[in-house]
Structure 1
Amino acid sequence: MDFAFTDEQVAIKDSVQKLCAQFDDKYWLKKDKEGGFPADFYQAMADAGWLGIAMPEEYGGAGLGITEAALLMQAVAESGAALQGASAIHLNIFGPNPIVVFGTEEQKQRILPDIIKGKVKGCFAVTEPDAGLNTTALETRAERDGNGYVVHGKKTFTTTAQIADKMLLIARTTPRDKCRRATDGLSLFYTDFDRSRIEVREIDKMGRKAVDTNQVFIDGLKVPLEDRIGEEGKGFHYLLHGLNPERVLIAAEAI
């Protein structure tokens, strides 16, 4: 089996390294000391087309795969940006994949181009303080209300919630004791980060100061039906289409 990279893959890494060279160690040292989202770095990556590396071409992406995406993230991390640079763009790479795979055509056209162009910043509202890695034990609930849902609950370790316009949110729509399997009854939404119904509290941490980490408290957030991804109750299975490739990217970032 040949493990050598193709010429195209080598060229991708070289191009990313050249772009990242514009953001030198002094840039990242300042971010690490003072904090503040690296918006200029984020937009430079978007303008060069890298935020859409794994998104379909018909929505403005490059249509490439996990290997190319991993090379991109490795190049960002090793440039001196380290995990704070990688974390600034991480969600854009495979985070929207459940939308690609299970979203309607209307959702794809409405959502994906803005993510790829860097016009919106999202956050990943999954982990909960009382559930940890056991996603099936989460307690945030989304209750049907007319032509939509009302969401109540809390999330933790939510990255970029301080500056997010949108969030990919998983919530329970059917009580766990009424589901045949614990993985059932969870639904996935991509919706507005409405700060009139969401409180964000930053978590102090060592390192990665340019990218905020937060507790998120949701109180009566209204989510339109058209913001639900796929069928009700199948959100956990959809979410894996984003989580699994993201694990590969995290490994590449850590090298």
Structure 2
Amino acid sequence: MLINKYISETGHFSRRETTRRIAAGRITINGRVCVKGDTVAPGDIVLMDGEKIPERNPEAAYIVLNKPIGITCTAAEHVEGNIIQFVNYPSRIFAVGRLDKASEGLILLTNNGDIVNKMMRSEHHHEKEYVVTVDKPVTDEFIESMSQGVEILDVVTKPCEVSRQSENVFRIILTQGLNLQIRRMCKALGYRVLKLERIRIMNIILDERIKRGEWRHLDKQEIKLLMSQLNHNETEHE
């Protein structure tokens, strides 16, 4: 997000006033004096006159999107088809994790940075479930190899749950999130992924309430259960 937009969304300064303060060298990003056109990413430290800019406290937003193929999970405004512009939510949100451009299905977006950190920590073993279509019949050997772990990116993937759904379709439940993990695992075993859809993240399930390309807010019960699971896992690993 451009620094002008980022600061204006705090509700304390307009973009024009922000531009004047940038020109005067009064704003820093991660300790560096910023210049016009600089961008801010989640986690960056933005200071004005050496002090943190008070954030606006928007109502917590928890959104699930049924992502279509072709949408990129980035907040970078210059990327065509980025997920933030696609959702077009009225306040600042960001995606929890990624779902690659060629994949589809469930992805969570929020303005709650705390749960992003908790959900992204691999040691918490949060489950993500996918339905995958491949280019040839799924064999018992394939199921066993995928379940036990496959060597990709110089590591062996963690054991996971895999089951055959039909001749060329299987389900897989992962508790880690390596880059393009399922596609790389399949490729290592001689298979090519034709379709990859995420259908669940922890207790959040892709259902008929959201068609492809649509999104909805989590309901109160979903949020309550999600927070309960996150807090439980946080306590277990303290």
TM-score by length of 2: 0.27
- Structure label with greater radius of gyration: 2
Bigger relative CO (Cα 8 Å, ≥ 6 apart): 1
> Normalized per residue, which structure has more strand?
2
TM-score by length of 1: 0.25
